[in-house]
Amino acid sequence: MKYLTEYRDPELGRALIRRIRERVSRPRVLMEVCGGQTYTLIRQGIDELLAPAVELIHGPGCPVCVTPVRQIDRAVALAMDHRVILASFGDMLRVPGSEGSLLEARARGGDVRVVYSPLDAVELARRHPEREVVFFAVGFETTAPANAMAVWRARELGVGNFSVLVSHVTVPPAMRAILEAEGSRVEGFLAAGHVCTVMGLEEYFPLADEFRVPIVVTGFEPVDLLEGIFMLVDQLETGRWEVENQYARAVRREGNRPAREILARVFRVVDREWRGVGTIPGSGLGLRDEFREMDAEERFPIRQLGAGESPECRAGEVLQGRLRPTECEAFGSRCTPETPLGAPMVSSEGACAAYYRSGRRKEPS
Amino acid sequence: MTVCLGIPGMVTEIKEGEGLLMGTVDFGGVRREVCLAYVADEVRPGDYVIVHVGFAISRLDREEAERTLRLLQELELDGDRNSELGAQGNRGWEKERDGSGGEAP
């Protein structure tokens, strides 16, 4: 397929790996932020091919993984409300909450529907005027414009039985939190290409300056990732900390202006809890006051639920790049994609699932 | 369905849907209805866009794409083809990702 196949060329990949190895004067520690990038790096064994010249640490960019257990519990509670159709992206369904997953809620009689686009959830509401459709709006900046458009459209079309359970997160505050954490080893970031198609590069300049850390906006195919890694390594070896754009075919410096405009009209910046990590200031998006009547948390007051996490799950450490999935006691034994203890083993963008599905097994202790 | 996944596809048709710019995008033979509102000013049939959860979020810049590949190919030609890595092999990502099976090298 055009724009895919050429970026999967093994010859190019090998040449880049050679270049990266030649370029490093000592082992370098880099973090890829996005779970989609983690998936490709692990699936193709790029991390193993680059060791020990480059160590890749996996970042928190898995929207499904960082959605707080409390929000999953709210979604489950809403799904069990007989008035409600709970619409969600497919990969949220198996994420464990403290009282089961959405899939289990469906098995218990809850009306849970999978949608491809947030606009499908608005359509669902129009087709079922007698029901309340709640869309579970999760995701990073990549997804936020789509979800914002659903909210915007529902109001424009006067769809009164549509609301959203919002759990949006944003990348730069999480990168800041990682850099500020004690003992942070990250020397450079591969920034998430699709987040930047929307937001552009500007937010990253202050981070690069303040922490003297190079940031390269990178695509998702193997050749993209390797070129991004080479660009980071080259910056480190020449003592630079710039924001560079490897993914220039899709990312403009200013991002996507119409998308950013709707984001600013529908959402405002809020503090947000990240599952396993804690609350990161200014790291989320919530509905602006003008859209409050479409906030499912306002429309359906839900009793405060206990946020029960599996005591054994170490997802928080995995999401912050402090623990490799295979270093976790439960990995591959008590925790598998079929019986997950935590979200990173569920989502296709979760580091634990990427390791497990690529045949990685526990490291001997 | 993956929340953060963006896939390139070619716009084959552009149309209005109740005041919202929509279109059809072809992903290597699979066609889908996609919202084009965020690329409205720049997209024409035949253009490639990155699609995420039913929305085109970026038009692919053909010249940039070709420039990147040209640079990379020059780099490959420059490289030493007798590196240890060639012998060592890799997982052959083109096999896994295209779903054509393939075995470990």
User: Identity (one letter) of the amino acid at B87?
Assistant: A
Residue A159 Cα, gap to closest chain B Cα (Å): 14
In a domain, A123, yes or no: yes
Are A71 and A274 contacting, i.e. CB atoms less than 8 angstroms apart? no
| pLDDT score at B74 | 80
| pLDDT score at A305 | 66
Are B79 and A15 contacting, i.e. CB atoms less than 8 angstroms apart? yes
Contact A10 B94 (CB under 8 A): yes
| pLDDT score at A108 | 96
- Tell whether B31 lies on the interface with A, counting CB pairs under 8 A: no
Structure-token match 């420039």, residue found: B67
pTM (2 d.p.): 0.90
Higher pLDDT pick, B88 / A334 = A334
CA distance A332 to A314: 13
State what percent of residues in chain B have pLDDT above 70.
Answer: 68
In which domain, by residue range, is B31 found? 1-81
- Tell whether B14 lies on the interface with A, counting CB pairs under 8 A: no
In a domain, A362, yes or no: no
On average, the pLDDT of chain B sits at: 76
| pLDDT score at A275 | 87
Taking 80 as the threshold, does the pLDDT of residue B85 lie above it?
A: no
Same domain, A305 and A264: yes
Q: Is A41 exposed, middle or buried (0-12, 13-18, 19+ CB in 10 A)?
A: buried
Q: In the predicted model, what is the mean pLDDT of residues B21-49?
A: 95
Same domain, A328 and A210: no
Q: Which two tokens stand for residue A195?
A: 């987040």
- Tell whether B28 lies on the interface with A, counting CB pairs under 8 A: yes
- Nearest CB neighbour to B38, from listed A62, A116, A259: A259
In a domain, B11, yes or no: yes
Cβ-Cβ contacts under 8 Å, B35 against chain A:
117, 119, 146, 149
Same domain, A251 and A330: no
Contact A1 B28 (CB under 8 A): yes
Interface test with A, best of B2, B4, B25 (most A CBs within 10 A): B4
Split into its structural domains, chain B has a count of: 1
In a domain, B22, yes or no: yes
Nearest CA in chain A to B77: A15
User: Identity (one letter) of the amino acid at B48?
Assistant: Y
Same domain, A298 and A323: no
**Residue A30 — φ and ψ, nearest 5°?**
-120, 150
Structure-token match 């060592």, residue found: B88
Same domain, A292 and A340: no
Contact A10 B90 (CB under 8 A): yes
> Which residues in A298-338 belong to E strands, given as ranges?
none
In a domain, B100, yes or no: no
What is the CATH classification number for the domain harbouring A89? 3.40.50.11740
Taking 90 as the threshold, does the pLDDT of residue B38 lie above it?
A: yes
Alpha helix locations (H) across A81-221? 102-107, 118-127, 144-156, 171-180, 193-199, 204-211
**Residue B2 — φ and ψ, nearest 5°?**
-120, 135
Interface test with A, best of B2, B3, B62, B74 (most A CBs within 10 A): B3
Split into its structural domains, chain A has a count of: 2
Interface confidence: ipTM more than 0.90: yes
A273, A335, B6 from A203: Cα distances, Å: 21, 37, 21
Give one word for A321, left, alpha or beta, with left for phi > 0 and alpha for psi -120 to 50.
left
What is the CATH classification number for the domain harbouring B60? 2.30.30.140
In a domain, B105, yes or no: no
In a domain, B55, yes or no: yes
In order along its 365 residues, chain A shows pLDDT tens digits of: 788 888 998 989 999 999 999 999 999 999 999 999 999 999 999 999 999 999 999 999 899 999 999 899 999 999 999 999 999 999 899 999 988 999 999 999 999 999 999 999 999 999 999 999 999 999 999 999 999 999 999 999 999 999 999 999 999 999 999 999 988 999 999 999 999 999 999 999 999 999 999 999 999 999 999 999 999 999 999 999 999 999 999 999 999 999 999 999 999 999 999 988 889 999 999 999 999 999 999 999 877 666 677 888 999 899 888 999 999 999 999 999 988 888 899 887 899 999 999 999 886 65
Same domain, A138 and A226: yes
In which domain, by residue range, is A342 found? 315-357
In a domain, A24, yes or no: yes
Cβ-Cβ contacts under 8 Å, A143 against chain B:
3-4, 52-53
* Three-state DSSP class for residue A110: coil
